[in-house]
Structure 1
Amino acid sequence: MKKVRVKPSKFSSAIAGVIGIIFVIFGITQISVMGIFGVVWTLGAAGVTGYHLYNLFSSKGAGVYEIDIHEQQEDFDAKLRKLDKLYQDGIISKEEYEIKKAEILNSKW
């Protein structure tokens, strides 16, 4: 099993970064009018803007959440080919071949 981080796209990070910069500028210019709320606004906008700009310019980026990916199981066709090779090489009997083939076919559907 492998963990994969899910992060915003580069496009959405670019849009959010531009809007964030506008919010930071607004916050800085309005701190004297808005008081403590202006400080909180500006710090919040700066944090969100920094997050999105990091996602935009970093190849790694910051994930929003993680999901577990199960390693992809062996390909259906490959299983049947291996089984056929075992039968053709005489390693398994016709009965064993038919039983295992039925299992593989039933697992596909």
Structure 2
Amino acid sequence: MADDNDKITYEDIKKYEFIFSKAPTMVLKVMIKTTADVVAKFKTKILLVASGLNDNQKSLIKKVFNMNVDEIQQLMDEAYKKSNIKQYKILADKNSKKFIEKNLDELKKLISNKL
């Protein structure tokens, strides 16, 4: 496990809440249930955004890549409790684990060399 300086906190992700709340909750639930490959669906957009990341954003992504899914889900639970954004609650649910693992792995494959 990484030390506290290598951890993402709610404060780190708070400014990106608009991304988490973009997907309607029903759509997110279906994506999770089907273990949809969201990275493949948005590959072009992801690559475009990744090419314009600043050093701080790259550092945050690297920290997420170094977290295990249980830690990410704990962070989602904390974020839900602080923000009441339902998408966080859905992602914190144990049934979302495979969805998160799959998409995190695909994202790592796609952009790790750009960080």
TM-score range, shorter chain: under 0.3
Question: Greater helix share, 1 or 2?
Answer: 2
Q: TM-score, normalised by structure 1?
A: 0.26
Of structures 1 and 2, the one with the larger relative CO (CA 8 A, separation 6+) is 2
Question: Greater strand share, 1 or 2?
Answer: 1
Q: TM-score, normalised by structure 2?
A: 0.25
